[in-house]
Chains A and B, each alone.
Chain A
Amino acid sequence: MSQATAATLAAVGVFALAVWAAQAQLNPFYLQILGLLGINIMATVSLNFAAGFGGMFSLGHPAFMAIGGYTAAILTYPVAMKSMRIPGYPEWLLQLQLPFLPALLIGGLAASAIAVLVGWPVLRLRGHYLAVATLGLTVIVQVAIVNLVDYTRGALGLSGIPGLTNLWWIAGFLVLTIFIVYRLVHSRFGRALRAVRDDYVAAQMSGVHVARTRLIGFTIAAFFAGIAGGLLGHLLRILTPGQFSFSAVFIGVAMMILGGMGSITGSILGAVIMTILPQFIIPLERGGTVLGIEVPALNGLTQIVTALILIGVMLVKPAGLAGAKEFSWRPLFGLSRPSKRGGSA
């Protein structure tokens, strides 16, 4: 075992300990914020896998989260309430209630299935054409959810979802997502994916099956987005089409850009800043006396500050906080770069 691998394993151990401590000590408010943070990191990492590493600038990520979220929620929904609230499904599905893990995985697979269907025609497009086409997917899924009232409860939202998500589930899937994406990016497949991103023609000339590589990358990203959606639904205990609208698209992209496209570390940074920072500003929004000084209510302060940070970072570091770089133990331990391809995580 190399020193870096040992350090990574130790870090995962410390992380598990922290999750245990948080679950035991923190009140539900902090747990919910940390939960949303974990889900946002997952969503951003998966978006970055498609957009940053794969060059597929997808604005359809909220759609995949919605599909994964609704699918998982329908599978864990209490049977007693199903026939009353979502009576559109066939009888066997109305009588079915799955445990959380299979429901989440099926949700992820459902998102992947839609990604294959949509990706087949749409991934021929590149750049902003692809962005607009995938934005169409977000719109279609949202309209479908609103109109399929007997299957989704429409605009009112599917409420009464069991609150199965806790920090352990989120932390577990988060570590898994980061690990798998990291390994994929540094595999033969990942190199092919980045080659397609950087030079379409050159990749094709080198024997990379361009269409297939892109489709597989897109499908994997959709899977993790679907899982994130499932975790979100079971954390907030409600899903509505409004959660997966344009603003969700923009926030997701902002987290990715802020951290840096093509960097897992960056995705984590971006999601942390965009999720945690507003929580410190919100108490200031409602005004009151701060340290003896009367402050008026400042509605919208959160949005303004996050926007300013986004602008500031783009001015100073246009490639995002982490650029395309990744966190590494090497500078910390003063290790030299391992020769050739011997390095491991």
Chain B
Amino acid sequence: MKRRVFLVATTAAVGTSLLPRISQAADTLKIGSIYSLTGSYATIEDPALKGAKLAVKQVNDAGGVKGQKIELIQYDGKSTLADIANAAQRLVHEDKVTAIIGVCDSGFYLASAPIAQDAGIPYLDTGGTVPNLPEQIGEFAHMMPFGDDYQAYVAAEFALKDLGAKTAFLLRDGDTDYTRAIAQFFSERYKRDGGQIIEESSYHTGDTDYSSHITKIRGTNPPPAVIYAAMNPGDDATFVRQAREAGVTIPIIGGDAFDNPDLVKNAGANNTVDVYFTTHMAMSTDNPLVAKFIDAYKAEYGIPPENAFAGLGYDSVNLMVEAMNKASDLSSKAINDAIFTITTFAGVTGNADFSNKNRAPDKEVTIIAVKDGKFMPVGNRKPAS
């Protein structure tokens, strides 16, 4: 018994000391990443990692950063808080990375960011959109996407000005923070600018029958001129189809959750007429930067980018690289300081200004119109102040 215990302990000790050393290349600049490749977030964080890897490859092919190659050290977050926090600890204290990028969920970010903050390592959130994440964590926290306030404000202004809709019906998923937040921000801006929210309605994630909400929409007087649908992926298509089949033809506006191929697939092309949403990027070849990105992505993975998160992952690496190039030296602190000096970042997900230390970047929001089952860009905008 004793001998066996000793054997196990020795094996464990030797294993621990060997494992971290296995895959270290010399003289590389290490960027850590945490993306969930298993579990419920895999469908959005896997494209984000692919985008990030593509950017690393391009940067290294072009000579790296200040003569050094970048090494991306990636751990699977497994869509689980404890695993994500462990991955952050491992990156900071075992792999001793210079900077970290990762996660597409604000909760995931809040679970891992204090670890990087305590160690003084810049950590860029790839896709979590709660507007004040940096304020909640500290000066080493940064965000790649715009905040939810931006996209909801832009949606409200679009409804009032472009669609001329002065009355709105608000449908929101009451279960998730994201949908509550965009619904609230939309309502705020819509009312401020002279719109009227006629009726609000809440549903639960995964509901399959929206007839009670549709009856409400049809029964209100005066009738609403537009529907703002603060919904999650999956539910959006179900609602849009049921509303259109029930004869509700007024425009429907959604948030970035609408940016998924299932919307048209499940609702049908003829039911998605007059459907609009705000998102991070348009997969359109009009913008030469985006066209190049789509081509490179196709060449690398054999498929076009799955969604905007691929672009956000791609931009995350490129922003870090720009900060590294601008930094006085390649220490974590210098890179972190350099991020705040970037005011005209040109990414595939839009132009952005990172000088605000407390909030999401000042960044353009893309408006998409669904036409004949295709996502057509309407324009890139920032909300009026």
CB distance from A24 to the nearest CB of B (A): 15
Query: Given that A27-B93, A157-B110, A288-B23 are known contacts, is A236 also in contact with B81, CB under 8 Å in the complex?
Result: yes
Which chain B residues border A170 with CB–CB below 8 Å? none
Contact of A299 among B19, B37, B94 (CB under 8 A): B37
Inter-subunit contact A29/B93 (CB<8 Å): yes
Scan residues 290-311 of chain A and give those whose CB is less than 8 A from a CB of chain B: 290-291, 297, 299-300, 302-303
Which chain A residues border B2 with CB–CB below 8 Å? 332
Which chain B residues border A291 with CB–CB below 8 Å? 22
Decide if B28 is an interface residue (CB 8 Å cutoff). no
Query: Given that A280-B15, A286-B76 are known contacts, is A32 also in contact with B85, CB under 8 Å in the complex?
Result: yes
Inter-subunit contact B93/A28 (CB<8 Å): yes
Inter-subunit contact B82/A36 (CB<8 Å): yes
Inter-subunit contact B86/A247 (CB<8 Å): no
Decide if B111 is an interface residue (CB 8 Å cutoff). yes
Inter-subunit contact A283/B85 (CB<8 Å): no
Which chain B residues border A135 with CB–CB below 8 Å? none
Contact of A149 among B90, B106, B180 (CB under 8 A): B180
Question: How many angstroms from the CA of A183 to the CA of B15 in the assembled complex?
Answer: 37
Interface string of B79-107 (1 = CB under 8 A from A): 01110011101101110000000000011
CB distance from A6 to the nearest CB of B (A): 18
Inter-subunit contact A32/B136 (CB<8 Å): no
Query: Given that A28-B115, A29-B86, A289-B23 are known contacts, is A154 also in contact with B180, CB under 8 Å in the complex?
Result: yes
Decide if B38 is an interface residue (CB 8 Å cutoff). yes
CB distance from B175 to the nearest CB of A (A): 5
Query: Given that A282-B76, A283-B20, A286-B74 are known contacts, is A242 also in contact with B81, CB under 8 Å in the complex?
Result: yes
Inter-subunit contact B76/A299 (CB<8 Å): yes
Decide if B214 is an interface residue (CB 8 Å cutoff). no
Decide if B177 is an interface residue (CB 8 Å cutoff). yes
CB distance from A211 to the nearest CB of B (A): 36
Contact of B177 among A155, A299, A332 (CB under 8 A): A155
Decide if A165 is an interface residue (CB 8 Å cutoff). no
Inter-subunit contact A159/B111 (CB<8 Å): yes
Inter-subunit contact B76/A242 (CB<8 Å): no
Scan residues 268-283 of chain A and give those whose CB is less than 8 A from a CB of chain B: 276, 279-280, 282-283
Question: How many angstroms from the CA of A159 to the CA of B106 in the assembled complex?
Answer: 10
Scan residues 229-267 of chain B and give those whose CB is less than 8 A from a CB of chain A: none
Inter-subunit contact B92/A29 (CB<8 Å): yes
* Minimal Cβ-Cβ distance residue in A for B115: A28
Contact of A286 among B75, B78, B85, B176 (CB under 8 A): B75
Decide if A117 is an interface residue (CB 8 Å cutoff). no
Inter-subunit contact B82/A236 (CB<8 Å): yes
Which chain B residues border A28 with CB–CB below 8 Å? 89, 92-93, 115
Which chain B residues border A33 with CB–CB below 8 Å? 86, 89
* Minimal Cβ-Cβ distance residue in A for B173: A155
Which chain B residues border A300 with CB–CB below 8 Å? 37-38, 76
Scan residues 93-135 of chain B and give those whose CB is less than 8 A from a CB of chain A: 93-94, 106-107, 110-111, 114-115, 130
CB distance from B84 to the nearest CB of A (A): 9
Which chain A residues border B268 with CB–CB below 8 Å? none
CB distance from B145 to the nearest CB of A (A): 16
Scan residues 110-154 of chain A and give those whose CB is less than 8 A from a CB of chain B: 146-147, 149, 153-154
* Minimal Cβ-Cβ distance residue in A for B79: A242
Decide if B1 is an interface residue (CB 8 Å cutoff). yes
Question: How many angstroms from the CA of A183 to the CA of B76 in the assembled complex?
Answer: 41
Query: Given that A147-B174, A155-B176, A160-B136 are known contacts, is A238 also in contact with B111, CB under 8 Å in the complex?
Result: yes
Contact of A238 among B37, B38, B81, B87 (CB under 8 A): B81
Inter-subunit contact A157/B111 (CB<8 Å): yes
Inter-subunit contact A286/B107 (CB<8 Å): no
Question: How many angstroms from the CA of A289 to the CA of B174 in the assembled complex?
Answer: 47
Query: Given that A280-B15, A282-B76 are known contacts, is A156 also in contact with B130, CB under 8 Å in the complex?
Result: yes
Decide if B296 is an interface residue (CB 8 Å cutoff). no
Inter-subunit contact B1/A157 (CB<8 Å): no
Inter-subunit contact A155/B15 (CB<8 Å): no
Inter-subunit contact A157/B107 (CB<8 Å): yes
Question: How many angstroms from the CA of A146 to the CA of B37 in the assembled complex?
Answer: 25
CB distance from A18 to the nearest CB of B (A): 12
Decide if B269 is an interface residue (CB 8 Å cutoff). no
Which chain A residues border B130 with CB–CB below 8 Å? 156
Q: Which residues of A contact B (CB under 8 A)?
A: 27-29, 32-33, 36, 146-147, 149, 153-157, 159-160, 163, 236-238, 240, 242-243, 247, 276, 279-280, 282-283, 285-286, 288-291, 297, 299-300, 302-303, 331-332
Pairs across A and B, CB under 8 Å, 12 listed: A29-B93, A147-B175, A149-B177, A156-B106, A236-B85, A236-B111, A237-B111, A238-B110, A240-B111, A285-B75, A299-B37, A302-B76
Q: A160-B136, A282-B86, A286-B75 are in contact. List 13 more A-B contacts (CB 8 A).
A: A29-B93, A32-B86, A33-B86, A33-B89, A157-B111, A236-B82, A236-B85, A238-B81, A243-B82, A286-B74, A299-B38, A300-B37, A302-B78
Instruction: Enumerate the 4 nearest inter-chain pairs by beta-carbon distance, A residue then B residue, closest first.
Output: A288-B23, A29-B89, A159-B110, A156-B177
